[in-house]
Structure 1
Amino acid sequence: MGANDLAKGPQMRTVIFDLDGTLADTSGDLIAAANACFRGLGLGDLLDARHDAGTALRGGRAMLTLGFSRVDGVDPGEVDRQYPVLLDAYARDINSHTFLYPGTMDAVTRLKSAGYAVGIATNKPEGLAETLMQSLGVRGEFASLIGADTLPVRKPDPEHHFEAVRRAGGDPRKSLLVGDTATDRDTSRNAGVPSVLVTFGPGPHDVRALSPEATIDHFDELDAVVAQLIG
């Protein structure tokens, strides 16, 4: 690709969002799916929706591992055997407890009105992410959605972020990532772009300790932060 081709490439500034713990609190439905697995094995509900919310947003295997650690004599291979069972349970009941964080879609609307492209890069399987966003009635507001299995790589590989930007019609050099975990911060660092971490996710750690370029306590703050970081 020559210099002229680069000059003709997409120039739109782009904001890419993580999904779980950033756009929406999905922990309640994730915990319910894990507990369905445990009940199926006669173990009862091993996870608590409030206290274990941070683990829920680390993924299905993390939830299964935590739950099984609370009982004796479980074969370690049970995590892999139960993972597809968990995904099936989650797919059947994906939006009973999930909610968008306050101000989420107002912020997305303002960004789009200001000329930014917006998309999603999540380590949730793409099909489940699509189903969830459709069920929340907001999938059409995002120009792209890249899931854990969309590409051969996933976050924190920078290509996961880059592809979300490209599919949104943007320029990876003029983008940033909004997330809530070390994985999101590492993705942005690997991509050479700024990260904005939300402080209101249910994770157990203070995201400020991850040294992102910025943090926000509410989506009302996002516009000014984005403008400062990428113009």
Structure 2
Amino acid sequence: MHSVMFDLDGTLADTSGDLIAAANACFRKLGLGDLLDRAHDQATALRGGRAMLKLGFSRVDGFGEADIDAQYQPLLEAYAQDIDTHTTLYPGAMDAVETLKSRGYPVGICTNKPEGLAETLMTRLGVRAAFGSLVGADTLAVRKPDPEHLFEAARRAGGTPAQTCLIGDTLTDRKTAQNANVPSVLVTFGPAGGDMAALKPDALLDNYADLPDLVDRLFS
């Protein structure tokens, strides 16, 4: 059965504001102030906690890998406490999900966000029940771009692994679909920015209203 799997951060929701706030909370406790800016550092936020810490520490002297390691768990704790203060679902995302389901497509989430945090976020946003699966960074022994991460998300949602597609926003999502030999769709409106067309996905998505028909075409 054909299914549709979604990345979370930067694809279903803009989570960059809360991620950056968590990193800045760590920097403030070290007396460094806010080292990251939501307007300019969104793309780094979507690459994870360590990437944000690395970028922030690069802007001051005297900090390195040991500090990144030391602050990673405090960052996750800060993020868990304020995980949905600034986060918003992209316009039309859940309408598209419901339309896909009405057309018989199982839907799920395939994210490199830790599973517990992803479950908490989607529950607080009130949309967790809409998805048949949620596979996070620590759910399996592998994560994106390993294709098994995507395949397991499809299985748990009730789809056939080799007949799924991945909706994402980064090179990692493109590589995951490529490694799985399934179609990829990259959104053009996420904080990752850049030229999504240059990544050569099977399709680009400018508006969630177009997704159901686009998926129909991909699987036709």
Whether TM exceeds 0.5 here: the answer is yes
For residues 217 and 32 of structure 2, what CA distance do their matches in structure 1 show?
51
Residue by residue, what CA displacement relative to the aligned partner does 1:38-77 show, whole Å, maximum 9, x if unpaired? 0011100000011101110010000000000000111321
The match for 1:196 among 177, 185, 192 is 185
Q: TM-score, normalised by structure 2?
A: 0.99
SS in 2 for 1:224: helix
The match for 1:150 among 118, 121, 139 is 139
Contact 1:175 1:230 in 2 (8 A): no
Residue by residue, what CA displacement relative to the aligned partner does 1:5-40 show, whole Å, maximum 9, x if unpaired? xxxxxxx21000000000000000000000000001
The match for 1:177 among 166, 176, 194 is 166
Residue by residue, what CA displacement relative to the aligned partner does 1:184-223 show, whole Å, maximum 9, x if unpaired? 0000000000000000001131111100000010101111
1:68 aligns with 2:57: yes
Q: Where does structure 1 differ by over 3 angstroms across 4 or more consecutive aligned residues? A: none
1:215 aligns with 2:209: no
Residues 35-50 of structure 1 aligned to structure 2 (within 5 Å): 35-50=24-39
Residue by residue, what CA displacement relative to the aligned partner does 1:83-139 show, whole Å, maximum 9, x if unpaired? 001000000000000000000000000000000000000000000000000000000
Q: Highest CA radius of gyration, 1 or 2?
A: 1
Contact 1:16 1:178 in 2 (8 A): yes
Question: Once the two structures are aligned, what percentage of the paired residues are identical?
Answer: 69
SS in 2 for 1:170: coil
Aligned positions, number = 220
Structure 2 alignment gaps of length 5 or more: none
Q: TM-score, normalised by structure 1?
A: 0.94
For residues 163 and 219 of structure 2, what CA distance do their matches in structure 1 show?
6
SS in 1 for 2:166: strand
For residues 104 and 200 of structure 1, what CA distance do their matches in structure 2 show?
12
RMSD: 0.6
For residues 65 and 162 of structure 2, what CA distance do their matches in structure 1 show?
43
1:130 aligns with 2:119: yes
